[in-house]
Structure 1
Amino acid sequence: MADVRTLRDAVAELVHDGDTVAMEGFTHLIPFAAAHEVIRQGITDLTLARMTPDVVYDQLIGAGLVRKLIFSWGGNPGVGSLHRFRDAVENGWPRPLELDEHSHAGMANRYVAGASGLPFAVLRGYRGSGLATRTETVSTVVCPFTGEELAAVAALNPDVTVIHAQQADREGNVQLWGLAGVQKEAALAADRVLVTVEETVDALAPRPGGVVLPHWVIDAVCVVPGGAHPSYATGYSVRDNDFYRAWDPIARDRDTFIHWLDTQVRNENENEDEGAPVR
């Protein structure tokens, strides 16, 4: 059974220096609270994996905790660039950032292979792009039945996957619903799984399109209402569009970003009215 514990204790136990960490969520259910706890604990030399790195990874990269990013798209959705991400790539600040870039289909298939216990996945893709020449995790295979040459992507097995969901029951089974990304696949592919949830309930009610992760694949459940802010949790909150707009000028300037990080994340008791709020 997955243990219900504090976020501080779960991060300290499950996320380690040098880990490959996937923090997945598509548009909503992005685990910002867990990422902020990683920043507070100063867990470093991380390889981050995510199909769509957005503001949460901008913050982790700007905090100097990330050495490598495995991804298929990056940006501040609806606003523009990730300026801490760009600064790390273009100028090596606060540290150089290694990139392993894929297509969306390639990333999704890497998680699927990892979740399936397979060494790689096969797909039609990467033809006509230069992505395959920039990574050692894309190759080709020849179909033994048709002779067709196909793209092959190496399985992605994070040391730990972190996600946010709406509910967990008393046994630690987790349910999420709404726009589904690759949370299920990323969790099943990982050695360790940490889930923050909006609430615990006595029993999970079946929902059309709902994804249930059984307690035996989850190491820790943390009750963190609003843990996806500034993204949202379908049925519980709405997207904080003001935050995403406010993030652009904060992230553009190194000193402004560091001030925001120190007052809004590292010292969580500071006045949250300065700049973009954490919650």
Structure 2
Amino acid sequence: MAKFLPLAQAVAENLNDGDIAAFEGFTHLIPTAAAHEAIRQNFRDLTLIRMTPDLVYDQMIGMGMAKKVIFSYAGNPGVGLLRRMRDAIENGFPHPIAIEEHSHAAMANAYEAGAAGLPCAIFRGYRGAGLAEVNPNIRHVTCPFTGEVLAAVPALRPDVSFIHAQKANKRGDVLVEGIIGIQKEAVLAAKRAVVTVEEVVDDFDDLHPNLTVLPAWTVTAIAVVPGGSHPSYTQGYYARDNAAYLEWDAIAADRDRFREWMQKNVIEAGVEDFAGRVANLRKAA
């Protein structure tokens, strides 16, 4: 059952060196505050999973936390490269990382397989694609009923998944509205799940079909962090900070500037800073 904890404690109790960890979000509700806390606590040798690695994985890789990344598309959305990730892959800085690249469909199916307790995901995919030539974890099986050749990838079963959401109620249930990507499946597939939320409420009013409720028994820990997905957005609370994504490209392009920015804005900062970062962003519909 979910425990309400300060973010530093929630991260310390649920993330370990060498873990397979997912910090999931799909443009929306990216768990930046949780990633920054992991950086402050200086975890090492992580295998990072994410459908669409963006700034937070660029930061974690640049700080030397990752030994491997399992991903589909990787980039600074709307801008271009992940420069710290590319530096690690091409130049081994700050140290080499292994990569395992998949399609979005494969990642989504692999999380679903993990959530269902299955060893692998089987789906139609990778037809005519060359990715299987460089990724030995993309294989093929023949359907015993139809004879159709299908793609197969290992299930994703993180040691811990981190997500951000709008609300938790006092029982520890979590409400997620808007674009959710694969966060629900990432939580259900994980051994442990940590959720940062904008606020805690007595109950969820005005429920409608465009939401997901994760019951308390699926969540290990909840931390209240207003603004905790900045610079991504949280529907109903604040808009995406597009300027921050543009700024990041120049910051990440230079190793020294990157370290200086991380020292000031992550290492020396705290969770309370996130509310201030979103104070002037218009409310997201």
Aligned to 1:165: 165
> 1:130 & 1:12 partners in 2: Cα distance?
40
Report the alpha carbon displacement of residue 130 of structure 1 after superposing the two structures with TM.
2.1
Cross-structure match for 2:254: 253
Task: State the match for 2:178 in structure 1.
Answer: 178
Please tell me whether the aligned partners of residues 170 and 203 of structure 1 are also in contact (alpha carbons under 8 angstroms): yes
Q: Which whole-Å deviations, capped at 9, do the CAs of 1:224-270 have from their partners, x for residues lacking one?
A: 0000000010000110111001101100000000001111111117x
Report the aligned-residue RMSD: 1.3
Using the TM superposition, give the Cα deviation of residue 76 of structure 1 relative to its aligned residue in structure 2, in angstroms.
Answer: 0.5
User: Match for 2:241: what amino acid?
Assistant: D
Whole-Å separation in 2 of the counterparts to 1:48 and 1:133: 22
Mapped contact 1:177–1:207 kept (Cα < 8 A): no
- 2:130 is the counterpart of 1:130: yes
Counterpart of 1:152? 152
Query: How far is the alpha carbon of 1:278 from its aligned partner?
Result: 6.6
**C-alpha distance in 1 between matches for 2:277 and 2:65:** 19
Partner of residue 51, structure 1: 51
Structure 1 equivalent of residue 87 of structure 2: 87
Q: Write out per-residue CA displacement over residues 188-237 of structure 1, whole angstroms, 9 at most, x where no aligned residue.
A: 00000000000000012323210111100100000000000000100001
In the superposition, the TM-score normalised over structure 2's length comes to: 0.93
Tell me the CA shift for residue 57 of structure 1: 0.6
- TM-score, with length taken from structure 1: 0.95
Aligned counterparts of 2:45 and 2:6: Cα–Cα separation in 1: 24
Q: Which residue of 2 aligns with 1:263?
A: 264
Amino acid at match of 2:30: I
Contact 1:265/1:278 (<8 A) preserved: no
**How far does the alpha carbon of each residue in 1:21-58 deviate from its partner, in whole angstroms, 9 at most, with x for none?**
11111111000000000000001110000000011110
2:238 pairs with 1:217: no
Query: In the alignment, residue 86 of structure 2 is paired with which amino acid?
Result: R
Name the counterpart of 1:27.
Answer: 27
Question: Which consecutive residues of structure 2, in runs of 5 or more, have no partner in the other structure?
Answer: 279-285
The equivalent of 2:241 in structure 1 is: 240
Q: Which runs of 5+ in 1 are unaligned?
A: none
2:97 — aligned with what? Answer: 97
SS in 2 for 1:9: helix
What's the CA shift for 1:134? Answer: 2.2
The structure 1 segments of at least 4 consecutive aligned residues displaced by more than 4 Å after TM superposition are none
2:261 is aligned with what amino acid?
A: W
Residue of structure 2 in register with 1:18 after alignment: 18
**C-alpha deviations, 1:104-124, integer Å up to 9, x for none?**
100000000000111111111
Distance 2:4 2:208 in 1: 23
Higher mean C-alpha displacement, 134-143 vs 114-123: 134-143
Identity level (%)? 58
Q: C-alpha distance in 1, partners of 2:204/2:134?
A: 44
Shift of 1:136: 3.1
* Residue of structure 2 equivalent to 1:226: 227
CA distance in 2, matches of 1:150, 1:231: 35
